Structure 1
Amino acid sequence: MLTDCFRVTTHTLTPDIYIELRNKVAFKPYAYEDVVIALRHTLFSIVIFDGDKPVAIGRVVGDGRIVFFIKDVVIDPDYQRQSLGKMIMNEIDGYIDMVGCDGAYIALMATPGTEGFYEHLGFIQRPNDGLGAGMVKFLHK
């Protein structure tokens, strides 16, 4: 669905919006109460609306000065390929530029197939000659 005018809001990400959009792209579901706590500790969030419908989200976690981790950049499949990802990343970059120190570390884990998008925004893939592989570990209870 093509729409010319989207409304961009910051610090308005709710658990319901978070869960709804992550479900639309089949990301791992989390319990509602866990989402509430996670969002409470979010440094920055963005929600893009088409009218009253949330169609894209993104958030930043970290220490607010040296380390920033971009998380949950999610676009409703019906709204992909409309530059919403770029809108999200521009807002996130503006936030980090405002609060981050010189040399701040900005990281993310790209969903398979989106690496080129993030490379166009200045991110580099690992491993490379100067950096080892990025690594991740999941807690299983």
Structure 2
Amino acid sequence: MNLEIRDNALTPDIYISLRKKVDFKEYAYDDVVVALHNSIYTVVIYDDDKPIAISRIVGDDRIVFFIKDVVVDPDYQKMKIGKLLMKSMFQYIAKKACQGAYIGLMSTPCCVEFYEKYGFVKRPSEGLGPGMLKYFDKNEVIA
């Protein structure tokens, strides 16, 4: 392996391709363009010229950082590539975050132990309610 880490190099094509490989929710190309443009940091890991892992951070770049789209090509999983992604993201956060900044993420069930190694706690836990999410539906009326 000849690994290279590239900051802010995530393209819509790479994003869509790697997310498909791990069966993550698919989004329209134009929506991915906007999402990546509004990310505060992205990272792509290459093996030679092949993108094999991605991640990005969204947030306000000071108090709130939300780690999204941590994806490692299945052919490269269990090879410490995820650790490289996390290291890159925490290096970015260390440069930008205020003391006590919130770093959040939503884990897939198989990755909970991986994130716990980095100090993330499962919710609910003492003093913290459950993590929650909602997928937006344009047809839904909120009362």
Measured against the shorter chain, the TM-score band is over 0.9
What is the aligned partner in structure 2 of residue 103 from structure 1? 100
Q: Does 1:24 align with 2:24?
A: no
Cα distance per residue 1:12-49 (max 9 Å; x no partner) = 00000000000111111000000000000000000000
C-alpha deviation, 1:100, in angstroms = 0.5
What is the aligned partner in structure 2 of residue 35 from structure 1? 32
Runs (4 or more) in structure 1 with deviation over 2 Å come to none
Identity among equivalent pairs (%): 55
What is the aligned partner in structure 1 of residue 86 from structure 2? 89
2:10 to 8, 13, 38: 13
C-alpha deviation, 1:137, in angstroms = 0.8
Matches within 5 A, 1:72-83: 72-83=69-80
TM-score (norm 1): 0.96
Count the aligned residue pairs. 138
| Structure 1 vs Structure 2 CA RMSD | 0.6
C-alpha deviation, 1:130, in angstroms = 1.2
Distance 2:108 2:131 in 1: 13
Cα distance per residue 1:83-137 (max 9 Å; x no partner) = 0100000000010011010000000000111100000111111101111111111
TM-score (norm 2): 0.95
> Unpaired runs of 5+ in structure 2?
139-143
